[in-house]
Amino acid sequence: PVLLSCGSAQPPGSCPAPCECSEAAKTVKCVNSNLTAVPPDLPLYVRILFITGNRLAKLPAGAFPARRLPDLSALNLSGNRLEAVEAGALASLPALRQLDLSGNPLASLSPQAFGEGGSPLEELALRGALRNRAVLLSLAAVLQSGALRNLSRLELSDNELLLLPAGMFAALPALRQLDLSNNSLVGLRNVSFQGLGQLQSLDLSNNSLGVLRNDTLAQFRSLPALQLIGLGRNAWVCDCAIRDLVAWLKESDQVESKEALTCAYPAKMLGKALLEINGSDLDCSGPVDLPSQLQTSYVFLGIVLALIGAIFLLVLYLNRKGIKKWMHNIRDACRDHMEGYHYRYEINADPRLTNLSSNSDV
């Protein structure tokens, strides 16, 4: 009778219907199964979980309870339709070391997604998941809070990033690999790599970097473990500002395939290897730091516009009585004009007045 009454229940350690399970490999795969939520009956033995290519709109709090998944160490949620990761969604996984959220159109990432006490997470992949600027800022807040201070690998490639939030990596002392490739980074002025004493690999390839300045190069020199820097496929501007970068390239062994780095601008330097540049090759007749000059010009323009606005308001204030009288005159003139129109309309609308006004003998 007990067996009959429990016949419909899922026995512990069973495999959810749309998934494939291997107890020997401690692996569960729920791939392209049109799931809209995390299966609630995952086997206790699972250590590697794939839930990819489904239709998960959000991860709510408690989506992965620790009592059901005490040994889960690798979680792949890539290629779903995740838009929101709510507070506490990934907080109760004591063994989690690897998380992949790549290929999801994230629009909301709670700063408490990994809980209040920190996470044991060591590898985080977010390829193509940070196209929304608000999510990037939320991730920066999570990283700066120290909740992921055990991270050793962070992948942020393919996100169309232009600029990174200041101090984004300040609380990642264990970070060894940082992938920022295939973005649109135009500069690293507000990016600090200080405190990343364990950083071994930094990939900045396939971005829009035009130059690396002395403060950034000094940070690279100060990182004792940094062995590999990827700088390929960037739009290097070979003017006077690139002299420091060229000098550093010639003395450094950190840059991967540095012989292949070539100029993209100006036209006469197109395709020239950075390592072959000499001082005589550079045209220093123009402004060296165009972004700084543009910034100065914008500041000056803003000051001028502010002064013009202040003078305009002062003139209005000093002439407030005259302006008020002028406005009253305009109002009275408009009212008289409208009364004339109204009077003419009444005459035209009354046939008796119309006949009277048309009789030349009257």
Closest alpha carbon to 155 in 202, 105, 106:
202
Q: 53-88: per-residue pLDDT in tens?
A: 999 999 999 888 878 899 999 999 999 999 999 999
Q: Domain locations in the chain?
A: 20-235
Q: Given 1.10.287.70, 3.40.50.2000, 3.80.10.10, 3.90.180.10, which CATH number is that of 20-235?
A: 3.80.10.10
Q: What is the DSSP letter of 285?
A: S
Q: 14-38: per-residue pLDDT in tens?
A: 899 899 999 999 999 999 999 999 9
Q: 181-240: per-residue pLDDT in tens?
A: 999 999 998 899 988 999 999 999 999 999 999 999 999 999 999 999 999 999 999 999
Q: Which two tokens stand for residue 199?
A: 């950083």
Say yes or no to pLDDT of 355 above 70. no
Q: Is the pTM of this model over 0.95?
A: no
Averaged pLDDT of the chain: 87
DSSP string, 147-209: TTTT--EEE--SS--S---TTTTTT-TT--EEE--SS-----TT---TT-TT--EEE--SS--
